[in-house]
Amino acid sequence: AKVLSEYADIIMLRTSSHKNLEEFGKYLNIPIINGLSDQSHPCQVLTDLFSFEEAKGSISGKSVAWLGDGNNNMSNSLIEAAGKFDFKLKIGCPNKYKPNKKIMTWAKKNKANVLVTDNPAEAVKDVDCVMTDKWVSMNDKVNKKAKKKSLKKYQVNKKLMNLAKSSALFMHCLPVGRGEEVTDEVIDGKQSIVWTQALNRVHVQKSIINWCLN
């Protein structure tokens, strides 16, 4: 970290352990960007919010559904974003994969509008955006077959999308597990903006770098 502080103006770190990010950052004299950790994925969520606002206007007062694993880096960062950007987040997940107590304590303290339900229909009802992610994340040390089975009813399909607003967007941070967390019909459908999200990551990352430098 000390050597890299001499080499560079910014460090971006992607790591399986969030503790690595925190430990590394202690010894840097330059900004560090969390490119991804097992605990959070803030750059991706900023891109998602930007993509929503580019398409629909301010996300403040809107509602977003998250289906699948409620205790991964994306859902954690979405909970934080709900508190920062004033939108309602409805997480549909099995009880086994609910958000952890630490992030929910933060949500309550920061008055984040977060609903957690094991009913996928309740999660997507009348929302402005439906989001999901791969059911088995990188470095996810679980029984993959068992996890996928428990998340099966949280698949984003046309039936669930029809419960959201007719103008609702579908988002996915990619790469995608087609036929698992989402059907081809949804990800390739008119409500999907996943390819725009992929493009916007370039521009949002540049803006984060610009913010760090200034």
The predicted pLDDT at position 2 comes to: 95
pLDDT reported for residue 165: 98
Residues 39, 44, 155, 191: which is the catalytic one?
A: 44
CA distance 149 to 109: 34
Instruction: State what percent of residues in the chain have pLDDT above 90.
Output: 96
Average pLDDT on 135-139 reads: 82
Q: What is the mean pLDDT of residues 136-153?
A: 90
Which residues in 168-187 are b (16+ Cβ under 10 Å) and which e? bbbbbbeebeeebbbbeebb
- Establish whether 201 is a catalytic residue: yes
Annotated catalytic residue 173? yes
Q: Output helix, strand, coil percentages for the chain, rounded to the nearest 5.
A: 45, 15, 40
Note the pTM of the prediction, 2 decimals.
Answer: 0.95
- Model confidence over 68-102: pLDDT tens digits? 999 999 999 999 999 999 999 999 999 999 999 99
The catalytic residue among 43, 128, 172, 201 is 201
User: Do residues 44 and 36 lie in contact, with contact meaning Cβ atoms separated by under 8 Å?
Assistant: yes
- How far is it, in rounded angstroms, from Cα 55 to Cα 132? 18
Active site residue 205: no
pLDDT band (50, 70, 90) for residue 32: very high
The span from the CA of 112 to the CA of 22, in Å, is 24
Residue pair 213/9 in contact by the 8 Å Cβ criterion: yes
Q: Output the six-digit token pair for 169.
A: 């967007």
